[in-house]
Amino acid sequence: MENHRDGAPASRRSCEGPWDRPRANSADEKGAPAFARRLTAYVLAFALGLGCASQSASPVGERSGKRASAKGIGAPMPSLVVKTLNGDRKIDLGSFRGKVVLVDIWASWCAPCLEEMPLLDDMAVRLKSKGVEIIAISVDEDKDDARAFLSSRPTWSLTLAHDPKGKVPEVLNPPKMPSSYIVDTDGILRYVNEGFDRGDIKKIESRLTALAGAKS
């Protein structure tokens, strides 16, 4: 079975760089110069209009390093537990054997996510009967920020989850926001879509449909 990571073409819009949310540097974050540097760079880029601007292409293939080899394409989706956005149940991302799953990592401060999320929600309606589950995980620290972002629709068909501590991106290490991970019926990560462009939707849906159709 084909395994693939989609890099970002020159026209793809994404929040490049570390996935860390833009937030105030709290008094209890002591001795964290790396975080401070990342935050300062992010804020400056955002102020210049570059935070979610067009990005150059990145290569297709797994990232180097132990994390990528352990949790990368062709490996099982790790057992990462998050709660639904309303907090009524827990979701284990490694427990969806028998279903094709799309795991999307997004945030309210990510401009391309504003376009992506409604399109994923429409896709969830179309693919529900095929046994496809779409889980959109907000990494906003404040749940109200995510809820405000989602207020554009009265209801959502995809599964909304919340990861305020960033456990999922700490393991999956998305290079851009948003990033989507397609998992097959055996729980194996098959595709990664880095960043988002409107043209990605057809490609993502085609891959989900193909994997769902391959289910024995």
Cα torsion angle, 102, 192, 93, 175, sign: negative
List the single range of 79-83, 166-170, 199-203, 211-215 with lowest mean pLDDT.
211-215
Supply the mean pLDDT for the chain: 78
Q: Which of 80, 72, 95 is nearest to 175 (CA)?
A: 72
Q: How much of the chain is in helix, strand and coil states, percent to nearest 5?
A: 35, 20, 45
Q: Looking at residue 72, what is its pLDDT? A: 81
Express each pLDDT in 155-197 by its tens digit.
Answer: 999 999 999 999 999 999 998 999 999 999 999 999 999 999 9
Q: Are 96 and 183 in contact (CB under 8 A)?
A: yes
Q: What span, in angstroms and rounded, lies between the C-alpha atoms of 201 and 213?
A: 18
List 117's β-bridge partners, or say none: none
Residue 119 in this model has a pLDDT that exceeds 80 = yes
DSSP 116: H
Structure-model confidence comparison of residues 24 and 101, the more confident one: 101
- Specify the pairing of strand 81-84 against strand 90-92: antiparallel
Express each pLDDT in 4-63 by its tens digit.
Answer: 666 544 444 556 555 555 544 443 443 333 333 333 334 333 433 333 433 333 333 333
